Each structure stands twice: as C-alpha cells, then as structure tokens.
Structure 1
Amino acid sequence: MAPFNRNILKPFKNIFILILAVFAVWMLFFDANSWLIHHELNTDIDALESEKEYYKKEIEKDKKALKKLSTEEGLEKFAREEYYMKRDSEEIYIIEYEDSLKNKQDE
C-alpha cells in the first residue's frame, strides 16, 4: 500500500508542479476572472441574445400591423373587429357559439 501512495504524491514533490497546480486551481475557481464567472456570463449573454431576437421579431410584427393601420381600410377593419364600431346605417350582431360560452358547470 505504501508504494502506491508514493507514486501518487511523487509529482507533487516538485515545487514547479505544485505551484502550477495551485495556480490552475486559483485561476479556475477563485480569481475575479475565473472559469465559473466566465461560464455564468456566457450563459447570460446567450439568454440576452435570444431575448434580443424575440424583440426584433416583435418589432417586425408591430411594423407590419402599423403599416396595415396606416391605410383607411385597415383602420376601419381594426375598429370594426376590435371595438365593434359601425356606421350609422348598419347594425351589428355578435354571434356566440355554445362552446365559447361559459357554463356554470365549468366554473
């Protein structure tokens, strides 16, 4: 059993290897620029980039909707569908289907 322990500890008797091991551990875990901090920051960067892409798509979608609303026909269609507006000579009937109504049993 004793020769096995000597073989494991033999490289650590060299002062340069010992200093290199301590330096590597320090740089990986304890330094202000450690691998752990870099990994956390890279994860944050990836999350922010995906959020940036999401907002770019939302901006494009909003620009298309704004372009549709800039025309007279698009504005009228939006007002009729969303706010149930009508002309003076018209009547609007809202049709609700049975599956869209709330039942007292569902509540």
Structure 2
Amino acid sequence: MKRLIALFSNKFFLVTAAFVVWMIFFDKNDLLSRYEYHQQLQKLKHERDFYQAETDKVTKDLDELSSDPKQLEKFAREKYLMKKDNEDVYMVVKEKPKDE
C-alpha cells in the first residue's frame, strides 16, 4: 500500500500519467479522431476502387466502340434510339408491378 502511495505521489509518474491521459482523450489526434480518420480512409479506398473499376469498364467500352462499327451502331440504336432512314422504331416499355 505504501508503494502505491509513493508511486502516486511521484512527480514523474504524475506527469507521465497526465501526458498519457492528455494524448488519449484531449489532443487533436486523440483515439476517437484516429478511429474516425481510419474509417474515412477505408471509405475513400473503397470509393477509389469502385471508380477505378468503372473507369476500366468505360475504357473497355470506348475501345470496342472505336474499333468495331457494328458495336457503334448497336450502341447508338440502344442508347440514343437512332434509326436508319427506312426504319420505324417502336419502344416497348414494361410496366412495373404495383405493390399493394
């Protein structure tokens, strides 16, 4: 018991304990902030991977459209509803089932 009292009355121990408490709870880089930064970093990495995958997909599609005229015609017909002069285009829209 006397050792504990001596330990808690030691000025070096008190300064060290105060420093540790300050760094863990009150500093601008405390543990909670570090955890939030880590979560934000993980979210940004996930977004980066998603956008890299989307960029690769778009690049692949662009290469296909640039190299193959049939793919370009198919793309124009599907996305922009383009048609040849002697054609008629009819759009068939499926109705969504109504939830009751």
Corresponding letter in the other structure for 1:24: V
TM-score, scaled to structure 1? 0.70
Cα deviation code 1:35-54 (max 9, x no counterpart): 33322222221111111111
Hey, what's the Cα distance between the residues in 1 that align with 2:27 and 2:90? Answer: 70
Residue segments in structure 2 that go unaligned for 5+ positions in a row: none
Paired position in structure 2 for 1:29: 25
Rg (Cα) greater in structure:
1
Paired position in structure 1 for 2:95: 101
Matched, 1:82 2:79: yes
| Percent identity (aligned) | 42
TM-score, scaled to structure 2? 0.73
The correspondence of residues 1-107 of structure 1 with structure 2, limited to 5 A, is: 10=5, 11-70=7-66, 71-96=68-93, 100-101=94-95
Residue segments in structure 1 that go unaligned for 5+ positions in a row: 1-5
Paired position in structure 2 for 1:3: none
Distance 1:93 1:32, change over 3 A: closer
